[in-house]
């Protein structure tokens, strides 16, 4: 919202790719599963990039790579201009401090046997030389920042509701003052009213601390609310990428269009839908289509789409991987 200030690029990902080898027994060569293929983006301080897509599209793998929890098989990743892939030892732990994660399930991501204070102090114990009283003061400060009382530190996770636990998980992610927070479906497990509280909290923290967010979600309503930029993934590939308003208001990729059309709108009468629904389901990532990965479900696919994979190219202010997009955009 503040275009005058040149925003500082926090993370720059170039052609990130991840291929898993899936063992198929002793005598057969392992199958290769391309979870993520050639994804590039950059996020500036105070900005949110949302990655959307259906299950199995590679969005969580992408999140793990950016959070340095999983080494990409190809590509480059720079934090504040410094290459971090292949970093070892101190360089890696310094890089890791700058990126923290918030997970989907606040019930599974907090150790039930540790007090909240212990959970929040752990990152400081490992990464800093602060003395215990200083650590405790920081924990108290952070708890208040995420809207919890300082006494919370004495309690155990089971004493808190889902929304409160997600606040604790966010507090833990912020203990080391990261520049980038990777949030993998942070509100998917929460009820609507609680979800709104957590989204507000994430936005307040971003404003106050200048955080960059990589926000993974399947919920387009949430993404539309929180994102600045959107990256739409399908079967490991980027389909469309660009400014949120552009992508949501005038989607050009047939997959983005289908995704938006499939999202139930509120209060629309139960009449037959004007738009054609996507047929079929996502193909297996072990045997992706030879051409465009979306061709098997695309209503506009031509023979070229089935043979040749489209490259990501600029069109009307965003990036899009589609042979037919220019033609479709031109025809009303």
Partner 1 sequence: MPAAAPMHPFARLLELADLQVDFPSDQGVLHAVDGLSLQLHAGEVLGIVGESGSGKSVAMMALMGLLSFPAQMRATRMQFAGQDLLHASAAQRRAITGKDMAMIFQDPMSSLNPSFTVAYQLSETLRLHLGMDARAARNHAATLLAQVGIADAASRLDAYPHQLSGGMCQRVMIAMAIACQPQLLIADEPTTALDVTVQAQILELLAQLQRTHGMAMVLISHDMGVVSQVAQRVAVMYAGQVVEVQEAGALFDAPRHPYTQALLQAMPQRSQGAKRLATIPGMVPGVADRPSGCLFAPRCAHAQTACNTPAPIHRDGGSQVRCHFPLHPLGAIA
Q: Which stretch binds partner 1 (CB under 8 A): 5-13, 34-42, 165-173, 266-274?
A: 266-274
Work out whether 146 is an interface residue with partner 1 (CB under 8 A).
no
Shortest Å distance, C-beta 267 to partner 1: 3
Question: What residues does 181 pair with on adjacent strands?
Answer: 100, 213
- Of residues 18, 61, 195, 237, which one binds partner 1 by CB under 8 A? 195
- Give yes or no for residue 2 binding partner 1 (CB under 8 A): no
Beta-carbon neighbour count of residue 178 at 10 Å? Answer: 22
From the list 93-101, 138-146, 195-203, 317-325, the region that binds partner 1 by CB under 8 A is 195-203
Residue 203 as a binder of partner 1 (CB under 8 A): the answer is yes
Q: How far is the CB of 261 from partner 1 (least distance, A)?
A: 8
Q: How far is the CB of 176 from partner 1 (least distance, A)?
A: 27
For residue 87, the minimal CB distance to partner 1 (Å) is 36
Closest by alpha carbon to 246, among 224, 275, 276, 274? Answer: 224
Whole-angstrom distance, CA of residue 242 vs CA of residue 54 = 18
Residue list 46-65, contact with partner 1 (CB under 8 A): 54-55
Length of the chain: 332
Question: For partner 1, what does the binding mask look like between residues 68 and 107, x meaning CB under 8 A?
Answer: ----------------------------------------
Pick from 126, 200, 304, 307: which binds partner 1 (CB under 8 A)? 200
In angstroms, the first-to-last Cα distance of the chain is 32
The strand order across the sheet containing 31-44 reads: 31-44, 9-22, 74-79, 82-83
Distance (Å, whole) CA 230 – CA 89: 33
Sign of CA dihedral 170, 232, 69, 95: negative
Residue 82 and residue 67: Cα distance in Å, rounded?
Answer: 15
Shortest Cβ 52–partner 1 spacing (Å) = 9
Which of 264, 287, 303, 332 touches partner 1 by CB under 8 A? 264
Tokens standing for 106? 């606040």
CA nearest to 194, candidates 228, 160, 220, 217: 160
- Shortest CB 273 distance to partner 1, Å: 7
For residue 110, the minimal CB distance to partner 1 (Å) is 18
Q: Alpha-carbon distance 264 to 266, whole Å? A: 6
Strand 48-52: give its sheet, edge to edge.
Answer: 99-102, 180-184, 212-217, 48-52, 229-234, 237-243, 318-320, 313-315
Interior CA angle at 217 toward 263 and 94, to 5°?
165
Residues numbered 171 to 190 that lie near partner 1 (CB under 8 A) are none
Q: Which of 281, 313, 314, 317 binds partner 1 (CB under 8 A)?
A: 281
Q: Which residues would be at the binding site for partner 1 (CB under 8 A)?
A: 54-55, 161, 163, 191-193, 195-197, 199-200, 203, 218-222, 224-226, 258-259, 261-271, 273, 277-279, 281-282
């Amino acid at each position: 919202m503040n275009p005058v200030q040149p925003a500082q690029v926090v993370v720059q990902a170039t052609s990130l790719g991840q291929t898993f080898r899936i063992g198929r027994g002793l005598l057969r060569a392992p199958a290769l599963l391309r979870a993520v293929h050639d994804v590039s983006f950059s996020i500036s301080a105070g900005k949110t990039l949302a990655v959307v897509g259906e299950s199995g599209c590679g969005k969580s793998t992408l999140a793990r790579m950016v959070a340095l929890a999983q080494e990409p098989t190809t590509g480059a990743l720079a934090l504040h201009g410094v290459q971090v892939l292949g970093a070892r030892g101190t360089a890696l732990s310094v890089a890791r401090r700058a990126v923290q994660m918030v997970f989907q399930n606040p019930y599974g991501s907090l150790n039930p046997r540790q007090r909240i204070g212990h959970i929040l102090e752990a990152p400081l114990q490992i990464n800093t030389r602060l003395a215990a009283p200083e650590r405790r003061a920081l924990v108290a400060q952070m708890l208040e920042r995420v809207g919890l009382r300082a006494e919370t530190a004495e309690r155990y996770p089971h004493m808190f509701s889902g929304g409160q636990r997600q606040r604790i998980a966010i507090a833990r992610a912020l203990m080391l003052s990261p520049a980038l927070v990777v949030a993998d479906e942070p509100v998917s497990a929460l009820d609507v009213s609680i979800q709104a509280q957590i989204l507000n909290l994430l936005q307040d923290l971003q404003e106050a601390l200048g955080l960059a967010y990589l926000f993974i979600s399947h919920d387009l309503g949430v993404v539309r609310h929180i994102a600045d930029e959107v990256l739409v993934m399908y079967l490991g590939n980027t389909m469309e990428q660009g400014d949120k308003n552009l992508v949501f208001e005038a989607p050009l990729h047939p997959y983005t269009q289908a995704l938006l059309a499939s999202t139930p709108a509120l209060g629309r009468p139960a009449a037959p839908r004007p738009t054609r629904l996507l047929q079929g389901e996502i193909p297996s990532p072990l045997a992706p289509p030879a051409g465009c990965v979306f061709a098997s479900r695309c209503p506009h696919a031509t023979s070229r789409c089935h043979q040749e994979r489209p490259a990501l190219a600029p069109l009307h202010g965003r990036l899009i991987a589609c042979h037919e997009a220019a033609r479709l955009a031109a025809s009303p």
